[in-house]
Amino acid sequence: MAKGDISTYTEDGAWKSKVEGSARAAHTGGTKAEQTAVGRKMAQEREVEHTISKLDGTIGEKNSYGNDPTRLRAEHRGAHARSAYEADGGGNART
């Protein structure tokens, strides 16, 4: 995970949400659902990725709330396709 992303995980029986790169959790306690909501809000406010771990420590879910490289590549392809379409006169070159 990149520095600044949010991680929701369990440690010593307590659910926590932490900003990656920080030494300590930003929020601790409550149920997994409550801590997931806290982590989601933190990630949305920071426009970063939120990773939610399962009890066994494996990744259960990942959500991106900004700077999504897949979305950016798709938008770039769309802009490139529009430029080619406009360059040939809007598709009228086939006469």
pLDDT by position in tens, the chain (length 95): 678 999 999 999 999 999 999 999 999 999 999 999 999 999 999 999 999 999 999 999 999 998 666 655 555 555 554 445 455 555 554 44
Question: What span, in angstroms and rounded, lies between the C-alpha atoms of 22 and 25?
Answer: 7
Name the residue type at position 76.
H
What single-letter DSSP state applies at residue 31?
-
Strands 49-53 vs 59-64: parallel, antiparallel or unpaired? antiparallel
Q: Read off the pTM.
A: 0.69
